[in-house]
Chains A and B, each alone.
Chain A
Amino acid sequence: MSELALRYRRKSARHEIELSAPKGGVTRLHVPDEDAKAHLVTAMLKARCEPGEELELFGEAASTLAPAGRARLRAKVGAVSPIVGLVANLNAWENIALPAAYHGRPTLEQVAELARAVLGAFGADAAAFFARLPEELGVLERKLASFVRSLVAAPQLMIFDALEDGLSRAECLHTARFEAEYRARAPQGTLVYVDTREEA
């Protein structure tokens, strides 16, 4: 049996959910409703579970971890999710660079290089993209900025939360590139798609 990057269990009055994702793989997790999705994504991002939830990340049970241990696990998780949106009064570059500038790593030059490479792969003009505020970006562009910001932290577990929500058919064709870009930069990384809908 392969090692798990994620194991999650939640018992509520309406549902009982049990999900897992193998380390290094791509997993599509389907949850019954938005509330369950928000709980799942929040638990992964916080590396903390609420009563009725059980969460294991990279083999470590979140409930038994001290704050330092949780912070260490949180650093391994990145997400493109409405829960981790962009800051409205910062332009795209400031949003992308903010965590790196705050934590002091990686350097802003490295962030700029990574951002230009990813935006280039999506066919975006980096200079024009960087200067725009979130309200001036389209839905796909906001997800792209959020994705680049997550990539900067080199997460071992990347969550794509409802990645296709709000996108046009044409834009949905680009979403496969998110996976390819993540895989190119983290060959051993785990990718988890979370959605409320069943696949057609």
Chain B
Amino acid sequence: MLQALREIEGGIQLSLNVAVRAPRLAVPPIFESFLRQVYFTGVTAATGVVLRACLLGVIIIAVLMDMLDADVDLAVKILLLLVFRELGPLAAAAVVILRTGTAVSAEMAMMRISGQTRALRYLGIDLYDYLVLPRVAGVMLATAVLTFYVQFLAVLGGLALSPFIIEATFTELAGRLFELFTPVDFYYSVIKSLLFGYAVAACCCWHGLNPPDLTQNAVPKVVTRAVMQSAMLVLLINAVFAYVVFGILFFGLVKANV
């Protein structure tokens, strides 16, 4: 219980520190670190997710269209509401947790254990400025871009497979998709993916900087905790978003328009 409270307090403190220090991103070494994080989280992940993202769309379409005996409208709705809005951001977040979350938490823990964070402090370099801020900002931006990329590929995969299952052409399906697509779908994904990125980066940074002890054995413990809690936070944020969009807002005062 105490540990949980400590983690919540630490998370809030870290969030406030990051928010207050956002303008420091312009400082050259912090900006370089930010660019490096965007590269490792976004660019290097891009090629690896192509097949996975396409397969995601293909599998969802293949299973659901057969189960629901779908027509063009339902197929497009499945692609938009399920693949684009929900599974795309979740799949991107899973990639970020598995690739970046593990790397960030292990790197931070190693820096803490080997005394590199202490060395930075003695050099007058703030850890939030140099380590946390560029990672959080970089992971947020990269997650948003990666989410859009995964959504595009997953929907494309689904659209490519659909003509083999229902009687509709690729162009017919794509045209219907663009008719149904609203800016809300885009904003919804962007906001959600930014929050996913923030939650993953903040959680992994916090665990990395606060290992249970200062031995090598702490590193796997830190990574495990960071990954588990990041996944939990992502699912929690997704549940809140799903409730807000598909449920009733503000205790029934506002009815969400889907």
Contact = CB atoms under 8 A, between A and B. Distances in A.
A79 B118 CA distance: 13
Instruction: Tell which of A86, A87, A94 has the most Cβ of chain B within 10 Å.
Output: A87
A102 B29 contact: yes
Interface residues of B, number: 19
Interface string A67-106: 0000100110001001111111100001000110111100
A45 interface: yes
B124 A87 contact: no
B125 A98 contact: yes
A103 B27 CA distance: 9
A149 B119 CA distance: 12
B123 A84 contact: yes
Contact of B116 (A71, A88, A94): A88
A177 interface: no
**Residues of B contacting A: mostly:** helix
Interface residues of A, number: 22
A85 B116 contact: yes
A88 B125 contact: no
B110 interface: yes
Contacts of A74: 122, 124
Nearest to B30: A102
Interface of A: 45-46, 71, 74-75, 79, 82-89, 94, 98-99, 101-104, 149
19 contacts: A74-B122, A75-B124, A82-B115, A83-B119, A84-B122, A85-B114, A85-B115, A85-B116, A85-B119, A86-B116, A87-B111, A87-B116, A87-B119, A88-B111, A88-B116, A98-B125, A99-B124, A102-B27, A149-B123
